[in-house]
Structure 1
Amino acid sequence: MLFDRYHHCNALPASQTSKPSQKWPREDVVLLKEHEEEGKEELLVARPAGTTAELDADEESDAALEMPTPPPAAAHDEDPSTQDSGSGELEAGHSSEEDGVMEDEPVQPKQKPGRPKKQTAGAPPNVAQVTTFDILYDISLFLRIELQKSMNQREAKGRHLIASNSLEWEDFCAQVKIQVADALFPDCAIVGNESFTLFFTIARVVKNNHRIHDGGDYTYLLNKVKEAKIPAGGGLRTVQLIVHESAATEVSDQLPGNAALKETVSQLRAHWQCSAGGCSSDHCFVPADGPHLRLTHEHFEKWAAAILRGANTSTIDHPPNHKLFDAAQADAPKSVLLQARLNAAAKERQVMTAQPVVNVVLPNDMF
């Protein structure tokens, strides 16, 4: 108990309290008690018996305490032997306290000989992971005419784009469309999504061309970018974008007349399919009493154009009056104007042959 281990300073022997400027160690317990009569604080100091060590010079002003003047020795009628026993108890208490302090000190484990263990690789603790970063898009744009060449002979137009991975799909598509319009369609006011095809690759992550068609493909791109390694020196992650011009971007393909022409050609091809075993063509015109006439793309184009012009002699079952179909139309009735032109052309090609001249010579005296 505190009372057993420490005593009031008045109970100390006179030999230990005779020096008014005695300095005590830091570990001494200082008890303050308010004095009721004088309104001041009386300094009470208790310390283990037998302690005589002093503080260092630099901490002397902070820890030094002056011992109050003890009362006369006559006021204490205790036997010196009792005081000695009390001092012995204090010494025992002090030694037990010191033992307790020594036990509370942590014991450092002995290090085993050998190489220390390597620390596991990973992100340092208490470091926030970066979720937003910029991406460098290296864009290669190919015209449709370049796609008809071999891979090693194609020439691409290059563009670059830097965008954050937090960019939405609509904003990303708009940024890419600006680059495509500048490189492939400089004269077009509006560039639709069907005007080009977009692919992407990532080095060591996505080797084959992966098409970007909608927001799901764009999300897949962002997830794959996170797997890519950050270049040395703090560079940006790079994504290779490949843009191909679509076949439906020509102005002629967008005209209503061409759309109708293609539709008519498709109908003619479906109607005049040849399934004869001995015929080498997939499409043939078969007259009622004539041989097969092989139909090519030129035949279908002229036939469809004649139908769209509204010619009375051209229908899906009857070919037009054209030289490509003359082999099958030799006996077919023709228009008067066309027949006159054919006759005039035939006369011009005709070669005038010389008449033979026979001369007969008779003698004078024959008759």
Structure 2
Amino acid sequence: MKASTQEAGALNPTQLLFSNYIVTFTVPRQVSDPIHLNDKDKYEYLVKKALLIVKNPSAKIMVEPKIEDKENEMNISGTDSIPKPKSSGKKTKVPKACDILPANVELNEKISELRERWTCPTAGGPCGIAHCFFTAARPEHFPLSHNHFQSWAAARLKGAAFADLETLPNNALFDAIAAGARAAQSPLLQRRLELREQVAAKNAPAAPQVNIFPAEFAALLRPPVAPAPAPPLAAANAFVPPPSGANILIPYGHIPGADLTVANFCAMFKLDDEIRDRFEANKYKSSSDFQFIEVEELKEMGFMRGEVAQIKGAVGKWSQVA
């Protein structure tokens, strides 16, 4: 015994496929036009809009079978045998261009311009439909339906002061768009913001005034300056370096070193005994006397040029930098 078609369908139900259904969503006061919920980005967009509702965040999700699936179900259930009502034979007449009112012609042209201008550049983007509004200041896509285009086009017919191809009309259909984005697009709102800034600038407190006193009066207010310390006085017996032009045995910028006897000085710097004897013969007893000897005096004492060079080298090593 063969089972009927309905019994077979009940015993072997068809598998539900997500692709056989149209899933859309709306969010109260945030997303009025249904948007397809078919990928992760749309789901995140739904959650983002729903969370904008401070109290009781919610969203409405609608699941509808596709038309093809409905026809298949009818064929499976056997309802395709039900005779369809015959058409009356009357066909809808396509209106001619001359039958359309001039105002509607201009309105349709404005709508066509808006649809062409605000076509979504991203196929299957976050808006979920073919047309949307977005700007650099407001990159979030705002879906545009036929009602939006019709209202926008009607405002354009009133003049550029109400709306144009880039400026949104100011009505309830576009309230979801941020006021800042509308201000950036609307010259009227932009002008109001500029006037508000000018009024705020006029009411700003004036800069503090600084009075400059005469230099004599300002000098009285300054604290007295402490006198600079006097340079230290040289000791009574301190050696004063001779000027650079003097031909003193001690080099310029040097002071005498340790006080040695002539014999010890010559022995320390390995000078010949003849040099020692000639110093002693001229009654020079210690190295401290070298600060008063000029090079010419060495020649007068009978020192040879080589001996003068040895003495100058020894004195240069013995003396110290001042």
Shorter-chain TM range is under 0.3
Q: Which has the higher helix share?
A: 2
Q: Which has the higher strand share?
A: 1
With the length of structure 2 as denominator, give the TM-score of the two structures: 0.28
